[in-house]
């Protein structure tokens, strides 16, 4: 008899299992594919590995000479890039498997089916348990006309490619779309991105999206905003898509089409047969309990914020609740990152969502940073949203070098109610890109020293 059986070894599932083991519970994890889930095998890790390679190639080819470094005959080997990607995947995957073994967790590689509360069928095994965690993740969304055309890629398929496509149409200018566009564009592919909203990265502010758009355009990526693909046909080895923009409708011929319009929860028939409440995703309370006693859900399968680090948090909350130590999920402060060049990060409210009467906004440009000048970087800025009456930081966005790392200063500030005065009076090391944040905090306080 197990204390818990976890279905799915992705971020929510494996972290929950490890935390439960730390709490002294007997745990089994059932996974039909690979440890690490989408993030490790078809998402975060392989995408970032590919982007590291393409960014290094682009920097050597376009920036090295300006910095006094002469590089001759720069080229890339796509097979070697894929090998680097696969090593990153394998390292992460094996790391999860090692942690299972280290913490005494039984790892069952099989397809799971919940027979009834307390009973999970895993391949030819029947597992008896006090509690069940459903952490089956999500899969790419695909819909007409794209699901009716053979050979349309989703994000899952990009990582199987043996060669860089000569040309590609990316349908959807969200996070995955722009990251894939950046990767392929930096390697020299002809890239077209179509976004139905009025700007790419519609979850971010316009000024953030504009910097990313400028950088993508500089590497030759064609971007069509407020536009849509109305038709796609396979013609021989190529695809012909009809694109409708505010100014014209035209046909585009490309060697590949990537549909990148989000993900949907991966919910099995067993969940529906058990009568577990499902809306867009599995419905839970704040303790991540489903409508069926003894069964929990965490991660993408809930269809809330589909990010790996949210899955980590939710998995830990489930672990404590199964142990009997009451905890509620808290998604009030969730940093998000986009690994374009320059990087984007945000946490808290965006400028587009702020209350102009209650909130103020301050910005500081990357170009005013001494470290940025030394790096040859000029694009981007840090932006802080704060309460006018208290000075408390409630939102932050950045586009620029190391944005993915620097966002945590703002996340801690928002989480713990710190003010722009407290942050501006904290000594930041010089010369660093973190001084861009300092400049934004100073600007919010009155006037930045270096602006």
User: Active-site residue numbers?
Assistant: 430
Nearest to 382 by CA among 310, 325, 317, 438: 438
Q: ∠443-446-451 over CA atoms, to 5°?
A: 45
Spatial distance between the Cα atoms of 313 and 168, rounded to a whole number of angstroms: 36
Nearest to 376 by CA among 102, 59, 117: 59
Beta strands in 150-262 (DSSP E): 167-171, 190-194, 222-224, 228-235, 238-244, 249-254, 256-259
DSSP code for 262: -
Spatial distance between the Cα atoms of 15 and 21, rounded to a whole number of angstroms: 10
Beta strands in 293-450 (DSSP E): 295-297, 336-338, 343-348, 359-365, 381-387, 393-400
Is 76 within 8 Å of 184 (Cβ atoms)?
A: no
Is 178 within 8 Å of 156 (Cβ atoms)?
A: no
Cα within 13 Å of Cα(283), Cβ side: 9
Spatial distance between the Cα atoms of 379 and 397, rounded to a whole number of angstroms: 14
């Amino acid at each position: 008899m197990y204390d818990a059986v976890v279905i799915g070894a992705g971020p929510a599932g494996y972290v929950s299992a490890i935390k439960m083991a730390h709490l002294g519970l007997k745990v089994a994890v059932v996974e039909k594919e690979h440890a690490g889930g989408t993030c490790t095998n078809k998402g975060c890790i392989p995408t970032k590995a590919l982007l590291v390679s393409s960014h290094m190639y682009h920097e050597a080819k376009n920036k090295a000479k300006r910095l006094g470094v002469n590089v001759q005959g720069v080229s890339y080997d796509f097979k070697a890039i894929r090998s680097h990607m696969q090593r990153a995947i394998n390292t992460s995957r094996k790391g999860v498997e090692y942690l299972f073994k280290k913490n005494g967790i039984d790892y069952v590689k099989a397809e799971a089916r919940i027979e009834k509360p307390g009973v999970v069928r895993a391949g030819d095994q029947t597992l008896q348990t006090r509690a069940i965690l459903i952490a089956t993740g999500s899969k790419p969304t695909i819909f007409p006309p794209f699901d009716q055309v053979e050979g349309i890629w989703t994000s899952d398929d990009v990582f199987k490619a043996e060669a860089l496509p000569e040309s590609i149409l990316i349908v959807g200018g969200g996070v995955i779309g722009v990251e894939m566009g950046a990767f392929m564009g930096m390697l020299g592919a002809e890239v077209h991105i179509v976004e139905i909203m009025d700007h790419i990265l519609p979850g971010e502010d316009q000024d953030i999206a504009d910097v990313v758009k400028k950088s993508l355009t500089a590497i030759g990526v064609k971007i069509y905003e407020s536009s849509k693909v109305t038709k796609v046909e396979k013609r021989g080895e190529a695809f012909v898509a009809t694109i409708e923009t505010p100014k014209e409708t035209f046909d585009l011929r490309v060697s590949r089409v990537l549909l990148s319009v989000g993900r949907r929860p991966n919910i099995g028939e067993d969940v529906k047969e058990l009568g577990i409440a499902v809306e867009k995703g599995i419905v839970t309370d704040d303790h991540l309990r489903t409508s069926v006693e003894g069964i929990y859900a965490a991660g993408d399968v809930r269809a809330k914020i589909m990010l790996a680090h949210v899955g980590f948090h939710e998995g830990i909350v489930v672990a404590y609740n199964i142990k009997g130590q009451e905890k509620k999920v808290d998604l009030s402060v969730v940093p998000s990152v986009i690994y374009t060049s320059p990087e984007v990060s945000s946490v808290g409210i965006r400028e587009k969502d702020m209350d102009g009467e209650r909130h103020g906004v301050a910005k500081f440009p990357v170009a005013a940073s001494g470290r940025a000048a030394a790096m040859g970087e000029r694009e981007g800025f840090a932006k802080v949203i704060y309460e006018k009456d208290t000075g408390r930081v409630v939102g932050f966005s950045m586009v620029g070098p190391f944005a993915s790392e620097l966002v945590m200063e703002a996340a801690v500030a928002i989480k713990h109610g710190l003010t722009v005065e407290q942050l501006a009076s904290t000594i930041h090391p010089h010369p660093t890109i973190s001084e861009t944040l300092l400049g934004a905090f100073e600007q919010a306080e009155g006037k930045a020293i270096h602006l």
